[in-house]
């Protein structure tokens, strides 16, 4: 029996010049307390985090293990990432049952909840930047996006934070001796357990933990098309016309894995004509500026939309407050007309061409079409030669238009 959960570290780390609060996703065995798989995500975790932790939990070869296998059941707490179609399909392929626990019942998965509290007190509290209590962390989430941007100097890098988490996980499995294990470490308890384990080959596990869109595609001389973009690989040389399927890690759109129509793995493929790091940085800056501008517009619109009523001391109809001059009202209405794209559309600016003569056109649509134009001549007479010479030259081939 395994339990799985996400836990957020109450500190800021430097992830590619951005300060983020990382999340840790892990699986823990309830009987031996051994941590089987761990994945660290800079920012909000997703089903990709669950799949990465699951792959680390099942494999027992380097750099994972030695604890790891396919469990009988995994308990989760209604998290949408753990209950996504991709994750449940991966569990189902390995014959693992996912038990969705009811909401607001952390005691039903006490092993992983105790692990979350332990890592906060034993590891996170000793790292640089640990200044937020759980209550302060919730307050900072509500205030996200306000205040000056914090400095990245002095913050722990994401690489160092991941190394700290993995080192602490190793210490928990090999040196920590929980009271429930009678002086043994979690790894010693796992090795002493006589329950047989079921290993999954790494190649098969990689296929199980990838998402598939269920479509077949054709390889071309340019590669394979996926989501409107082209992916190429050296092994595709001479494979044009072959039917393939695409499997991918969620949100990892820089690389895909290609299989044949029967599901056999062919190889990876990388995005063709990928944007440069400078272009990506410029796009991120532009998106952030647009998001700030839209938030300011929404805030201003909500302020204008708010309605106020006058208090009453005697019975009478409600009285709205907020008077406007006629000029102010016309100016605001004109601005709204200019923003509404549906009102700016001119569908009848260029009428449709008249349909062919053999078509039945409803009388209501006839005035909305342009009158039919005469068909242009296939061989118009030349302008530099006399018309008589042109008639004599083309008399035996085709009748000219007059």
If asked whether residues 84 and 131 sit together in one domain, one would say yes
Q: Which tens digit of pLDDT belongs to each residue from 62-91?
A: 888 889 888 999 999 888 899 998 899 889
Q: Are 183 and 177 in contact (CB under 8 A)?
A: yes
Give the end of a domain, one of 167, 202, 237.
202
Pick 145 or 37 by higher pLDDT.
Answer: 37
311 lies in some domain: no
**CATH number assigned to the domain comprising residue 150:** 3.30.420.10
Q: Which tens digit of pLDDT belongs to each residue from 290-326?
A: 999 999 999 999 998 898 999 999 998 999 998 889 9
71 lies in some domain: yes
Give the end of a domain, one of 154, 186, 202.
202
If asked whether residues 10 and 58 sit together in one domain, one would say yes
CA separation for the pair 231, 138 (Å, rounded):
42
If asked whether residues 197 and 247 sit together in one domain, one would say no
Contacts of 282 (CB under 8 A, 6+ apart): none
Q: Which tens digit of pLDDT belongs to each residue from 24-75?
A: 999 999 999 999 999 999 989 999 999 999 999 999 888 888 898 889 999 9
| Structural domains counted in the chain | 2
Q: Could you count the other beta carbons within 10 Å of the beta carbon of residue 20?
A: 17
Q: Are 190 and 49 in contact (CB under 8 A)?
A: no
If asked whether residues 73 and 165 sit together in one domain, one would say yes
276 lies in some domain: no
361 lies in some domain: no
306 lies in some domain: no
Give the end of a domain, one of 143, 176, 202.
202
pLDDT for residue 371: 63
If asked whether residues 250 and 195 sit together in one domain, one would say no
If asked whether residues 197 and 220 sit together in one domain, one would say no
Query: Coil, strand, or helix at residue 34?
Result: coil
pLDDT for residue 293: 94
If asked whether residues 53 and 9 sit together in one domain, one would say yes
Contacts of 324 (CB under 8 A, 6+ apart): 332
219 lies in some domain: yes
If asked whether residues 131 and 155 sit together in one domain, one would say yes
What residues make up the domain containing 184?
Answer: 2-202
If asked whether residues 8 and 112 sit together in one domain, one would say yes
pTM to 2 decimal places: 0.71
If asked whether residues 153 and 250 sit together in one domain, one would say no
If asked whether residues 13 and 47 sit together in one domain, one would say yes
Q: How confident is the model at residue 350 (pLDDT cuts 50, 70, 90)?
A: confident
């Amino acid at each position: 029996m395994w339990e799985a959960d996400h836990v957020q570290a109450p500190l800021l780390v430097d992830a590619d010049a951005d300060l983020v609060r990382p999340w840790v996703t892990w699986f823990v065995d309830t009987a031996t307390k051994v941590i089987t798989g761990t994945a660290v995500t800079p920012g909000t975790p997703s089903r990709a985090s669950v799949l990465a932790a699951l792959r680390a939990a099942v494999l027992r070869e380097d750099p994972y293990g030695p604890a790891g296998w396919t469990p009988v059941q995994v308990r989760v707490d209604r998290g949408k990432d753990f209950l996504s179609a991709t994750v449940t399909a991966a569990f189902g392929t390995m014959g693992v049952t996912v038990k969705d626990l009811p909401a607001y019942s952390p005691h039903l998965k006490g092993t992983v909840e105790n692990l979350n509290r332990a890592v906060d007190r034993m590891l996170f509290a000793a790292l640089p930047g640990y200044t937020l209590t759980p209550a302060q962390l919730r307050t900072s989430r509500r205030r996200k996006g306000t205040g000056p941007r914090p400095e990245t100097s002095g913050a722990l890098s994401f690489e160092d934070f991941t190394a700290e988490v993995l080192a602490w996980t190793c210490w928990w499995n090999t040196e920590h001796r929980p009271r429930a294990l009678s002086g043994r470490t979690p790894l010693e308890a796992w090795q002493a357990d006589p329950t047989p384990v079921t290993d999954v080959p790494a190649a098969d596990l990689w296929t199980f933990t990838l998402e598939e869109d269920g479509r077949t595609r054709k390889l071309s001389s340019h590669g394979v098309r996926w989501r409107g973009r082209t992916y190429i690989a050296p092994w595709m040389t001479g494979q044009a016309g072959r039917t393939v399927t695409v499997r991918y890690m969620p949100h990892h759109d820089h690389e895909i894995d290609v299989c044949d129509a029967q599901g056999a793995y062919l190889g990876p493929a990388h995005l063709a004509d990928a944007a440069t790091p400078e272009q990506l940085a410029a796009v991120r800056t532009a998106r952030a500026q647009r998001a700030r501008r839209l938030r300011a517009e929404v805030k201003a619109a909500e302020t204008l939309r708010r309605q106020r009523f006058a208090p009453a001391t005697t019975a009478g109809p409600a009285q709205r407050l907020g008077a406007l001059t006629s000029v102010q009202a016309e100016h605001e209405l004109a601005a709204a007309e200019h923003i509404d794209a549906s009102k700016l559309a001119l569908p009848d600016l260029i009428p449709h061409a008249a349909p062919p003569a053999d078509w039945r056109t409803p009388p209501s649509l006839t005035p909305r079409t342009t009158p039919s134009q005469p068909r242009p001549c296939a061989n118009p007479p030349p302008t530099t030669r006399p018309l008589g010479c042109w008639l004599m030259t083309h008399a035996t081939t085709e009748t000219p238009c007059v």
